[in-house]
Structure 1
């Protein structure tokens, strides 16, 4: 019994020391505003736990999966307009044409988007926004930002919301009450879909703020490259081309594999943080509360 208590005290001490070190560390290069960001993040989490998450849990419990799929399809269809516009700006007319075709098919045959017939016909769903467009044009991301209620962003991505918002057909719907109600439904439906992922983050992440920040920045960089490998992570490929007169060719593989493996946190981030959580304009209303 005494040993168990001693071990528990030691564990609590290690956790406290780790938390203190985290709080005292210098801000990273990508997050010079970490102190302010953590304050906003704390506010967002309070609102999420008090309002948004309970609504999402109740909605998830009473809404049939088929209805949630229909709602998701409807808003995904509206999103294709903005996606097509940004693909054009990024110099990808073929992808933009596919997006426009998706919107036409799902709006007509799919009955205002409630059925995703375009995907069934082979037209791939893309994920583009004006923040990514600026990145493709060579604009740096700038400091990481946590926006009140909206969540993860950057100095580059945040203004992009003002470009993408008017491209949403729902933005121009005249009935304000209906329009705002649909925005709320979209936010709650998306939050409900992310419940398993965010619950997992809460269980496995020692520092949820840093976990979501790193996952967001990594995901955004990947989207700008359209999923292409990061050149900075290919620095060890030259091992294969170097002559080896005194060392057997197979001497390096285990060491080389360890060098090029991504960090465990990044692997977890890509696995459990869906794209919607990485601050796309489609998930803007309330999803920032999840970080």
Structure 2
């Protein structure tokens, strides 16, 4: 789950850089009214990342053999299937929810608590869902962009959703000492897999804050849009006046 989310965020960022470049003008994005505060938090997170997270992640990659690192990543991805599954059911995506349940059952048993990913080769795909997307699915507005200390990009809606997802995570219910170890190991494992992404970001972005913000917001919006019915093209030679309801032109006529 974490791997797919980060990979797609990076791809979205690269696409934004290639098509539009990095916005450096004085105009403030209306989705980011808290930009001064967010920039300060972003700088704080960047200092923590440079001086603590990255060195620890590099050490982890040097010391821990690749097969073990893969097993650790698989283990946490399997735990992450639980809130994904619950959010799919909450959005009435029953097929995806049942797929998540099958994936969780297969990897937790034959995959030795998820250390081995048996489900993917078996044709059971992983999904991305969280409670922020569930709220968006039911029409809750995202609210302003918000950079969270240590956790990074979010919005008011997604920050609230993140808190709810923690209650759905099995790690939350572990004994406190074990829970803290699991949280720390998950963070280091995730950060270690994307050290190269940091180098790419450094090279591509004139303003890292804008680069990350715009890519993250675009990615979240695409997740909300991807399962919505797409408007059919209007093949009627009569034009927009005869367009059927549900097409783009028909929607446009109603908006007017």
TM-score range, shorter chain: 0.7 to 0.9
Q: What TM-score results when the alignment is normalised by the length of structure 1?
A: 0.70
Q: Which residue does 2:181 correspond to in 1? A: 181
Q: Which runs of 4+ in 1 moved over 2 A?
A: 225-231, 237-243
Q: Which residue does 2:161 correspond to in 1? A: 160
Per-residue CA deviations over 1:70-106 (Å, capped at 9, x if unaligned) read 0111001111110110001111011101101111111
Secondary structure of 1:26 counterpart: coil
CA distance in 2, matches of 1:230, 1:48: 40
Secondary structure of 2:79 counterpart: helix
Q: 1:82 touches 1:167 (CA, 8 Å); kept in 2? A: yes
Q: Which residue does 1:15 correspond to in 2? A: none
Q: Which residue does 1:129 correspond to in 2? A: 130
Q: What TM-score results when the alignment is normalised by the length of structure 2?
A: 0.79
Change (3 A) 1:117 1:195: same
How do 1:204-215 residues align onto structure 2 when only pairs under 5 Å count? Answer: 204-215=204-215
Q: Which residue does 2:75 correspond to in 1? A: 74
Change (3 A) 1:238 1:122: same
Change (3 A) 1:92 1:227: closer
Q: Which residue does 2:200 correspond to in 1? A: 200
CA distance in 2, matches of 1:185, 1:226: 32
Indicate the structure with greater helix content.
1
Q: Which residue does 1:103 correspond to in 2? A: 104
How do 1:46-61 residues align onto structure 2 when only pairs under 5 Å count? Answer: 46-61=47-62
Q: Which residue does 2:4 correspond to in 1? A: none
Secondary structure of 2:146 counterpart: strand
Q: CA deviation at 1:225?
A: 2.2
Secondary structure of 1:111 counterpart: coil
Q: CA deviation at 1:229?
A: 9.2
- What 5-or-longer segments of structure 1 have no aligned partner? 1-18, 244-291
Secondary structure of 1:30 counterpart: coil
- What 5-or-longer segments of structure 2 have no aligned partner? 1-21, 240-256
CA distance in 1, matches of 2:143, 2:69: 36
Q: Which residue does 2:119 correspond to in 1? A: 118
Q: CA deviation at 1:119?
A: 1.1
Q: CA deviation at 1:241?
A: 6.9
Secondary structure of 1:145 counterpart: strand
How do 1:1-291 residues align onto structure 2 when only pairs under 5 Å count? Answer: 22=24, 25-174=26-175, 176-226=176-226
Q: 1:27 touches 1:33 (CA, 8 Å); kept in 2? A: no
Secondary structure of 2:153 counterpart: strand
Secondary structure of 1:71 counterpart: helix
Query: How many residues end up aligned between the 2 structures?
Result: 218
Q: 1:222 touches 1:228 (CA, 8 Å); kept in 2? A: no
Secondary structure of 1:118 counterpart: coil
Change (3 A) 1:96 1:220: same
Q: CA deviation at 1:242?
A: 9.3
Q: CA deviation at 1:26?
A: 3.2
What is the RMSD of the two structures over their aligned residues, measured on CA atoms?
2.4
CA distance in 2, matches of 1:72, 1:242: 56
CA distance in 1, matches of 2:234, 2:220: 27
